[in-house]
Chains A and B, each alone.
Chain A
Amino acid sequence: DSGVTQTPKHLITATGQRVTLRCSPRSGDLSVYWYQQSLDQGLQFLIHYYNGEERAKGNILERFSAQQFPDLHSELNLSSLELGDSALYFCASSLSLNEQFFGPGTRLTVL
């Protein structure tokens, strides 16, 4: 158990819908990262938040947005969902720029 929690574990929705994925980092970690793992792309970095502020963005679609709240939990919002958005979404947290600790992931299926 990494200490990072993610909810929900599974999410099934339809195209065009909007969903919110939630992540609680390890106690004491100020950084939260979001990654997407699809079958053909491997683990891809989406976005990094540090203590409530966005610090870096990867190949995150404009339909996707994230935020980190004062209690340090983070939410990833995915809107106007397409079939291709079906993937595993992982959250990770870290205290420094060294190791990142990953949550169990949310499996999103868009039908």
Chain B
Amino acid sequence: DQQVKQNSPSLSVQEGRISILNCDYTNSMFDYFLWYKKYPAEGPTFLISISSIKDKNEDGRFTVFLNKSAKHLSLHIVPSQPGDSAVYFCAASARGNAGGTSYGKLTFGQGTILTVHP
């Protein structure tokens, strides 16, 4: 049962254009969402997060949008740069589940490979 899904295994974008990465979730207990970027042979690097009380969070070129009714979030990268080429993971947690068996657990999607062409 995959509670966090990234349905696009890969995305190819031209430098300077917008990259949009999508993520869907099924667990309504999730109240905090994160995006991580991962290069080969390295650990995931935190990019940006959003709490379920917000619908948008922006940090420089990165913006995350959350649509709770659709259980959908997206990461926008504008403008895209060749250095953004990596695997992007969406993750979710249920911070309100204090004391639960999944306390602090991040549930990850399968990842989307982003390639930004010069």
Contacts and interface: CB of A to CB of B under 8 A. Distances in A.
A98 B111 contact: no
Interface in B19-61: 32, 34, 36, 41-46, 49
A64 interface: no
Given A48-B104, A100-B46, 13 more contacts: A35-B106, A42-B109, A43-B108, A44-B108, A45-B102, A55-B103, A56-B100, A56-B104, A58-B102, A94-B104, A97-B104, A99-B46, A102-B46
Main SS class of interface, B: loop
Given A42-B109, A42-B110, A98-B32, A50 B104 contact: yes
A25 interface: no
A102 B110 CA distance: 17
Interface residues of B, number: 26
A45 B43 contact: no
Contact of B45 (A2, A31, A45, A55): A2
B41 to A, nearest CB: 8
Interface of B: 32, 34, 36, 41-46, 49, 89, 91, 93, 95, 100-111
26 contacts: A2-B43, A4-B43, A33-B104, A43-B89, A43-B91, A45-B105, A48-B104, A56-B100, A56-B102, A90-B43, A92-B43, A92-B106, A94-B104, A97-B95, A97-B104, A98-B49, A99-B34, A99-B46, A99-B49, A100-B106, A101-B46, A102-B43, A102-B45, A102-B46, A103-B43, A105-B43
